[in-house]
Structure 1
C-alpha cells in the first residue's frame, strides 16, 4: 500500500507541504527517485512531524520494491520528542505512528493485526470529528486500509462501506487527495469484479484511466487500473483483450522497480496464456512469476520474522515486569510473616525472663511453630506455582473458542497457499502462540498442522476447479505450485488422500458432469 504526505503546519509549514507533495508524487513515478529525494529532505529537516511523514514515504517506497525488511527498518527508527512543543503535535505523531504500523502489518499479509489496530483508532469519536486536514487525510487512509482487510476475508459489503467513508474525508483539492480518490475507485472496481458486477467495475476503471491521463504522469496508478481491467476481460473469457490490457499496464512500469505489482501482472499473463493454450508465452511468464515470487516470499518471510521479534521483545519486557511484580509481592508477604513471627518470639522471650522453665518451653514451642509456618509458607507458594503453571499450560474453553474463531477468520484468506507457511507464521498472523495453536488444531481439527494446511489447500483448489472454468485448462504442475505444494507428486498424493481421486480424474469428472 501507499502512504500519502500530510500538510503539516509548523515552523516550515508551506515549504514542507510543497516538498512532501513532490516526494509523494515521485512515489508513484519511480520508487528509487522517491527514496533519494526523501532521504535528502530527511537529513535537513529537524521537525519530528516532518520526519515521521518522510520516513513513512520512504518505508512505502521500499515496500513497493518488495524490500519489506528495509521498509520495517525505516519504520522502526524512533525520533526524539525533543522540540515538539504542542500536545496536538504529539497527538498527531502517535496517531500517524499507529497508522504506519497498521500499514506495515498489511504489507506483510498480517491482516488481522492491521484490522485490530485500525478498529481501535477509529473508535475515537473526537478524532473522527477533527477538522485538521492532516488528521482527516490519515483517517481517509485508515478507512482505505480497513477496506482492504475486509476484502481479504471476502466481506465486500463492509469493504465498500469503508471506501465510501474514506471518500467522505477527502476534499480533492490537492494531488494527495486526488490520488487517494483514484485508488479508492480502483479498489471499488476490484470488489465489484469479485461480486460479478462487471458493468459497474469497468465504468470505474475507465473513469480512473481517463482522469489520470489528463492529470499527469502516474505509472503506478495506470498499471493498477489496467491490471484490474484485465481481470474484467478474463471474467468475460475475452483472453486476448485481457492480454492487451496487461501489456498496456506493464508497459507503464516495465523499467521501474514496482515488484509488488509486477508479480501480479506475471501471474495474470500466465493464466491468460494458459487459457489461450500458448505454451511459449505461458512458460516465459510463469518463469518470471516463479523467480520473482521466490524472491518476494523470502523478503516477506524475513519481514515477518523481523516484526515477530519486535513483538516478542515487547512481550518479554511485559513478562519481566510481571515477574518482578510477583517477586516483589512474595518478598513483601515474606517480610510481613517474618515480622509477625519475630514479634511473637520477642513477646515470649520477654515473658520467659520470669521463668526459666517457661523460657525453655516457649523457646522450643517457637522453634517448632516457626518451622511449621516456614514449611506451610513454602508448600503454599509451591502449590500456587504448580497451579499457575498447570493453568497456563491448559487451554481454557474460552481461549479455545477464541482461537477457533481466529482460525475461522484466517481460513477465509488465502495465506495458507504460501509455500513458506509454517506454524510460526500462522502464530504471527493470528496472534496466538504456537503451543496453543498446535493443541487446538490437534484436538479440534483432529489433525496435525501440516495435515490441516494441506486440507485447506486441496479444498481451495477443488473449489476453484469446480467454479472457475479457466482452472480446468491448467496443468497439474501449475495447480500444485498455485496451491503451495513443493512438487507435483506431493500435490497429487495429498489430493488423492483427501478427495479419493487424482487431480486429473477429478478434473475429468467435472468436465463430464458439465457436458451431461
Structure 2
C-alpha cells in the first residue's frame, strides 16, 4: 500500500550527507523548514519553499537538493492525488539520484511513482517501478534502512499482484514477507523515527490483513487484525497520521459490512476528526460515505443526508481531477514514446519510409477488418435485443455445464432450489447494486458462498464476478435499446445505474461482454 510523510521524516532526519559549500547548507536548512510544515499538517505551505529550493539547487547543480526537494514534493502531490505531477517530478529526481547513487531515495521515489501509476490504472508501469525500486532497496548498506525499504516494496507488490488477479496466496505471501522484513528492525535503534516507522508499517500490514480477510468472508479473523493494528496506532510507537486515518476508515467500512452500524459510525467519526489535519480528500470521501450509509441504517435520516451531500460534492470534485489527471498522464506517456520513436526514425529514415508505407496498408486493412467485426458484433447484439423484445421475456445469461470435474458435490434438490432462486434474482435487477458480492448474495439466497460459487460456475459457466457483470451489461443494453433517453446519459451515469463502481470498469466489461464499446453501441442506436 502507500506510506507517506513519516518516510520523508526518516530520510531527512536519519541520513547525513557532506555539504559542498555554504549555499548548500542554506538549501538543506530550508528543506528542514519545509519538512516542519509537512510534519505539522501544513503541506501546502511547504510547496512554494520546495519549488524555490529545487530552482536554487538546479542553478548551482546541487543534485542532493534537487533530489530532496523533488522527493518531498513527490509525496505531497501523491497525498493530494495529483498523480501526474508525482510522475513528472519523479523523473527529474530519479535523474539526480542516479548521478549521486542515492539508492535510498531512488528506491522510495520509484516506489511512489509505481503507486501513482497504479492509481491511474497503468498497472504494468506500476509493476515495473516496484521491481526497479526493489533492486535499489537491496543495495542499501544500512541494514535497518534496507529492511524498511524492502518491506515497503513487498507490501506494494502484494497490492500489485492483487490488481493483476494473481492467486490470493501470492498476495498474502508478499504481505507476510513485508511483516517479516520490517520486524528485523531493532527496537534499540538510535534513530527513533526508524522505530516509529517500523511499528507504523507493522500496524499497516495488520490492517491490510484485516481488509483481505474481510473480503474472504472471515470477519472474526479480520476484526482481530484490525484491533491489533489499532492497538499499535494508539501507542506512542505509531506516528503516521495518514495511516491512522486509513485504518479508521477501513474499520468503519468493515463494521458497516458486518451491520454493526454504531461501531461503524464511531470509527468513521473518529477518522473524520483526525483527517482535519491531513488534507486527504479521498479518505474523507470514504468516511462521508460510510457515515451516510450507517446513519441511514439506524434511521437518522438527517445525519445521513448531511453526509451524503458532503460525499456527493467531494466525490464529483475528485472524479473531475482524476479524469483530467488520467488524460494528461496518458498523453505524457504517449508523448515520451513518440519522442523515442522519432529519434529512431531519424537514424533510419529510408527504412522508415518503406515501413510507413507498409504500416499504412496494414492499418487500413486492420481498420477495415475491425469495422466489419464491430458491425457484425453490433448486429448480433441488436438481433438478440429484438428477439428479446418480441418474446417479452428476460434474456437469460448464457450458461453451460462446466466440462471440468465438479470440485464440490451438491444434492440435485439443493441445486434446483438455488437455480430457481437465481432465476428470481436475475429478474429482480438487484444485481445493479454496487455492493453486490458473493457473501451478500449467498445471504439473500440462504446458502453458503461455496455452494453458490460452485453452482454459478457449473450452471452459468462463469465465475461470480463475470456472472454479475454479464447481468449488468444485459440490463443496460436493453435499457439503451428500448429507451432513447438512456442514449443521452453520460457513460459515468450508465455505469452507476447498472451497478459498476467506475466508468472505466464499465467500459472494459461492456466491450468484453458485447464486443463493442458503449459509445459505438450508442452512436449506432442513434443513427438507426
TM-score, length basis structure 1: 0.60
Match of 1:167 among 163, 179, 182: 179
Q: Tell me: CA distance 1:260–1:313, structure 2 relative to 1, closer, same or farther (3 Å).
A: same
Q: Does 1:464 align with 2:436?
A: yes
Q: 1:284 aligns with which of 294, 303, 306?
A: 306
Q: Is the 1:31–1:65 Cα contact (8 Å) retained in structure 2? A: no
Instruction: Report how far residue 295 of structure 1 moved.
Output: 1.0
CA–CA separation in structure 1 for the residues paired with 2:116 and 2:128: 13
Distance in 1, Cα, partners of 2:206 & 2:35:
23
Match for residue 111 of structure 2? 99
**For the Cα contact (< 8 Å) 2:289–2:308, is it kept in 1?**
yes
Residue 130 and residue 327 in structure 1: after superposition, are their counterparts in 2 closer, same or farther (change >3 A)?
same
Paired residues for 1:195-274 under 5 Å: 195-215=216-236, 218-254=240-276, 256-274=278-296
SS in 1 for 2:292: helix
Q: CA RMSD in A?
A: 4.8
Q: Give yes or no for contact 2:255–2:261 (8 Å, CA) kept in 1.
A: yes
Distance in structure 2 (CA, Å) of the matches to 1:164 and 1:444:
49
Give CA deviations for 1:447-493 in whole Å, capped at 9, x if unaligned: 999xxxxx9x9967488177537999xxxxxxx9xx9742799759x
Quick one: which of 123, 145, 154 aligns to 1:111? 123
How has the CA–CA distance of structure 1 residues 85 and 9 changed in structure 2, closer, same or farther, with 3 Å as cutoff?
farther
Does residue 10 of the first structure (1) align with residue 21 of the second (2)? no
User: Residues 312-340 of structure 1: CA distance to partner in whole angstroms, max 9, x if unpaired?
Assistant: 22111122123223324589xxxxxxxxx
| Larger RCO: 1 or 2 (CA < 8 Å, sep 6+) | 1
Q: Following the alignment from structure 1 to structure 2, what is the Cα–Cα distance between the partners of residues 80 and 59?
A: 14
Q: Does 1:388 align with 2:380?
A: no
Structure 1 257/159 Cα, relative in aligned 2: closer, same or farther at 3 Å? same
Question: Counterpart in 2 of 1:334?
Answer: none
Structure 2 unaligned residues grouped into runs of 5+: 382-396, 398-428, 445-475, 477-489, 500-505, 511-528
Tell me whether 1:48 sits opposite 2:58 in the alignment. Answer: no
TM-score w.r.t. length of structure 2: 0.59
> How many residues are matched?
384
Larger Rg: 1
Is there any run of 5+ residues in structure 1 with no aligned partner, and where? Answer: 332-380, 396-434, 450-454, 473-479, 499-516
TM-aligned CA deviation for residue 254 of structure 1? 3.1
Aligned partner of 1:178 in structure 2 is: 199
Q: Deviations over 1:255-297 (max 9, x none)?
A: 5422121011112122223333433222221211111111111
State how far apart, in whole Å, the 2-side matches of 1:157 and 1:223 are. 28
Residue 251 of structure 1: CA displacement? Answer: 1.3
8 Å CA contact 2:110, 2:132 repeated in 1: no
Q: Who is 1:325 aligned against?
A: 347
**Structure 1 residues 251 and 177: alpha-carbon distance in aligned structure 2, compared to 1, 3 A threshold:** same
The 5 A counterparts of 1:64-75 are 64-72=79-87, 74-75=89-90
Structure 2 vs 1, CA of residues 313 and 258 (structure 1 numbering), >3 Å: closer, same or farther? same
In 1, the alpha carbon distance for the partners of 2:32 and 2:198 equals: 13
- Higher mean Cα deviation, 244-253 or 63-72? 63-72
Contact 1:143–1:162 at 8 Å: present in 2 too?
Answer: yes
Does residue 57 in structure 1 map to residue 57 in structure 2? no
